[in-house]
Amino acid sequence: MNSHDLEQPVPSSKSQHNALGFNSGFNADDFYAGLDRIFAHALGSTQALPYLEEALAGAINSHDEFAELTVISEFLGFDRSHGRHDHAQKLAERALELRNSLGLINTEQGTIILINVATAYRQAGIYDKARQFYELAAKEAEHTLSNTDRQKAALYNNYSMLFSETGDLPSAHDQLIRALELMQLSSPDASKDGDVATTLTNIGLLELQMDDVLQAVDHTRQALDIYTNNPDLQSSAHYTSALAGYAQALFVSGNLSQALDYFEQALGLIKKFYGESSGYYETTAENVQLVRETIASQQSGSQTNGQAEQAAQDQQAQESSISATQRPDTHSRNIQNPKLSGLELSRAYWDEYADQLFSGELATLRSRAAIGLVGHGSECYGFDDDLSHDHDFGPRFCIWLTEEDFATYGKKLQERYTSLPFEFMGYSRSVSSPRGSGRDGVLSIDSFFESITGLSHAPEQAGEEHLWLNLDESTLCAATNGSVFADPFGAFSSRRQGFKNMPDDIRLYLISQRLGMISQTGQYNYARMAARKDSAAMLLCISEFAMNVSSLIFLLNNPVSVGYAPYYKWRFAALRKLSTRMGARLADLCPLLEELTMNPLNDHAQTIMNDICERIVSELNVQKLSDQTFDFLEWHRPYVESHIDSTSPLLHSI
């Protein structure tokens, strides 16, 4: 669960349609009633899209701009929930045109349009435009929406998500606090308000990412108190989320017995509300098992592989900022070599010299520059250790500029960066390897991504399948790893998010490919090579099997949520980290793969591979990618590929 799993709804124009003054050519009530009937009868997957398309075409043909805007407002919500981001962007542009032509600037309805448009851009990963329209909406909302209007609170909740997705956790936290204040103002009784509880849980989960564990425990506890003190609210699905959120905070704080208690309470309710076959139940059940194993391992005096490390890492998520109260004191130059990760060192170095870099004539550039550490290097993956310090390591960070700013200011800013001290907090920049150049300093956004992926922009979600298939997972991992410390303009984060957003059709195709290779190497060729007593070929089968299984685990967990599988050197380190993450799918395969690769010619190797394949089949069934129970993974491929919507022949191998 991340800090915004409990998303507040985006404001809808539905509650505003009477005030918009629709003319007699369009009946808003009839339009909404028809849409409500579709969803009430669970026909949304087949009838909602043609209904909206027909309504929009009718509004356009009748030249009724109010009607057109009404349909667009609902269509944007549909597009967001179905990942139709390209279409949503076109609708967003038209909504802005209609907002102007209908004279809705600085009106309540016009502000709601801005919120919807900003959210469409955010979910499409176009962060610079999303920020532009959230800022405009917030400015207008000060006089168009009252502080007791829940739509104003929803604005700040969604604005918070933008900051969270671009790595600015402190700003994300500020916006959520503002949303909470507005919800409390608008509530008849905040102590009985489920929406207030949801926001408190979101704040607590965000604070876990910021290392503010005490505050996280406090806020998630406050959220749970609202449900505990109001039994009539406990029939809401959000009650289970509040239980799980508090349990997660307790787990990170080290209060394992209470964490287990609340996770088990959540699990019981999820079973009642959703059933044991739901993904929500599966995830929470795995969390319960993880806590139980952690308790057992502590009681035995030693934690199982990676859990102690992950308990600490969960308090500082991969892209978390170091909280202001816990960051290293960068002014204390007498501190010699404190234990810092490369990302922590990089962040501290930026905090120390940010003002110096962007002073004077470059002061205004700071609002358009992105700062962070992404790309090649063990610290970008979060796996650096003492051995990493002998090359391409030390106080450093990247400054990413647009092409225009790079051409105008790049040389001057690089001179300032080069002049910064080579030693900081006891760390010195180590010798650069031949491949280490271009990993830090001032870079254009285009050239940075081109240097890693060969492309300045991510391929389109549809129509460029060949470009997605040319990008290895390890390449995509290098383009999206690390951390972004600041990106007020959002241009870099938007570009980076584009590479994170692997189209689901591509993901499904890769899952099919991995199933084929796992089956070929582990279920067929290994035994044949063993019969031929070809040990070298058996080793290669195991290697291919392990690489494909580890890739499949990342794909089934969805790279949009967990990132991509890195290249071979860090593949197992990343898999261990993923496998100890709460809610991870197929988390139990990592130790089996490690045992297999350490004993590839063992008599039990085939048994281990068979066990792994059986668990993969179960996961395919849980995720409803295949409803078959064949042991042989190759036979599941047609069922997986049947979920691919694209008609491109590149994505249909069978």
Q: What is the pLDDT of residues 29-76, one digit of tens each?
A: 788 888 888 877 777 778 888 999 999 998 898 888 999 999 998 999
Q: Which residues contact 482 (CB under 8 A, 6 or more apart)?
A: 343, 372, 373, 374, 375, 379, 380, 381
Rounded to 5 degrees, φ, ψ at 396 are: -165, 160
pTM value is 0.59
- Out of 235-244, 280-289, 613-622, give the one with best mean pLDDT: 613-622
pLDDT digits (tens, 9 = 90+) for 436-477: 456 889 999 999 999 999 999 999 988 999 999 999 999 999
Q: The sheet that has 441-444: what strands, in order across it?
A: 441-444, 398-401, 370-373, 483-486
383 or 316, higher pLDDT: 383
Asked whether 221 and 246 are in contact (CB, 8 A), the reply is yes
pLDDT at 487: 87
**What's the CA gap between 654 and 641, in Å, rounded?**
8
Under 8 Å CB-to-CB from 404, ≥6 apart: which residues?
none
Annotate 326-337 with b (16+ C-beta within 10 A) or e (fewer).
eebebeeeeeee
User: What is the C-alpha to C-alpha distance for residues 487 and 127, in angstroms, rounded to an integer?
Assistant: 10
- Closest by CA position to 136, among listed 97, 110, 174: 110
Parallel, antiparallel, or unpaired: how do β-strands 441-444 and 423-424 relate? unpaired
**Alpha-carbon span 465 to 476, nearest angstrom:** 15
Q: What is the pLDDT of residues 260-278, one digit of tens each?
A: 999 999 999 888 877 776 6
Cα(first)–Cα(last) distance of the chain, in Å?
36
Q: Cα-flanking dihedrals φ and ψ of residue 154, to 5°?
A: -60, -35
Q: Indicate the average pLDDT of the chain.
A: 85
Q: Please list the residues that pair with 583 across neighbouring strands.
A: none
- Locus of tokens 């992950």: 310
- Taking the CA atoms of residue 483, residue 484, residue 490 and residue 495 in that order, the dihedral angle to the nearest 10 degrees is -40
Measuring CA to CA, which residue among 103, 94, 168 is closest to residue 483?
Answer: 168
Half-sphere exposure for 547 (CA within 13 Å, toward CB): 17
Q: 334 pLDDT exceeds 50?
A: no
Q: According to the model, what pLDDT value does residue 300 have?
A: 72
- Tell me the two tokens of residue 310: 């992950």
Contact 138, 155 (CB under 8 A): yes
Region 112-121: what's the mean pLDDT? 93
